[in-house]
Amino acid sequence: MTACLYLLRRATLRDMIGTRQNPALAAALVLLATVFIAGTTLIAKALGTDALGTPLHPFQISFGRFIFAFLAISMLVGLRRPKLTRPNWGLHIGRTSFGWMGATLMFASVAYIPLADATAVTFLNPVFAMILAVPLLGERVGPWRWAAAVIALVGAMVLLRPTPASFQPASLLALTAAAVMGLELIFIKRLAGRERPLQILWLNNLLGSLIACIAVFAFWQPPSAEQWALMVMLGCMMACAQGCFVNGMARADASFVAPFSYATLIFAAIYDYAVFSATPDAITVLGAVIILNGAALLAWREGRQRPPTLHLDPGTKADQDLSR
């Protein structure tokens, strides 16, 4: 989710031409995307536990996520027939490798810890990306951005419950997933502006499907009919979420839209309570609030450093308008 936000915020002028600015619709689309994103974590938890029989391996859950998302986006590409440009395969492979690894670790973590905890930790993605951009991209980080990183990391420490009585080792899976997805954001930053968003999403899911097919080979077990159905839903919901983000980010400034993505945490907590009767405790709420404050401060600072919004010609077509 954060990867989509970062990529689309840095979309080129060519990609943005022709989309009418509509903040209300943008907010609605991003909120709808958070409904889908939270739904994918719920499905991953159902598949990774004994809710529907023998739990599936996280590699198998990632297989379903990438294969069926790729098929859904491929149908859209077939209908839209966008003009494809020569891809930078090195950046695509690096981005997808870390993205697949991060998704797999995330799916593994939600089988053991509450969805609210795992979802809150994922908001550390941009923090890790900011920290990693210093040695990998040579970027300079000011005091406000470091303050945001420290606040978010303090919230993560609260969520990890670092005491012998309450520490949950599975929380480290979610933390590692956030760090790996931070590496993915580094590749997305290098990739942004080089290719159209629809092409990037299609190639990401294509390469992710290839990686998932290889990785799952040694861990495959025959899923039940219900598990197959949920894997199809998982991939389709991820594709829908990406489509909503693309359209939402094209219709308003990222500084306006980004805070709505935090609703993922709310929907994840609601789903977890409704399906698994899991109620967030005081530590979860405190840690999540601290992380969200750090992420919001970072998003605010990034927004202030963006160039002024360009007024675009609403009469020209744009390839990234996925709603048509």
Alpha carbon 193 to its chain centroid, in Å, reads 19
Look-up: residue for tokens 């029989």?
53
* 3-class SS of residue 250: coil
pLDDT at position 84 over 70: yes
Residue 5: pLDDT band by 50, 70, 90 thresholds?
A: very low
Alpha carbon 226 to its chain centroid, in Å, reads 25
Residue 80: pLDDT band by 50, 70, 90 thresholds?
A: confident
pLDDT at position 35 over 90: yes
pLDDT tens figures, 194-239: 888 888 889 999 999 999 999 999 999 999 999 999 999 999 999 9
pLDDT tens figures, 115-131: 989 988 888 888 888 88
How many CA atoms within 13 Å lie on the side-chain side of 39? Answer: 19
Domain layout of the chain by residue ranges: 2-304
Percent of the chain with pLDDT over 70: 85
Closest CA to 106 of 154, 157, 148, 43: 43
- Residue 317 is predicted with a pLDDT of 35
The rounded distance, in Å, linking the Cα atoms of 49 and 118 is 15
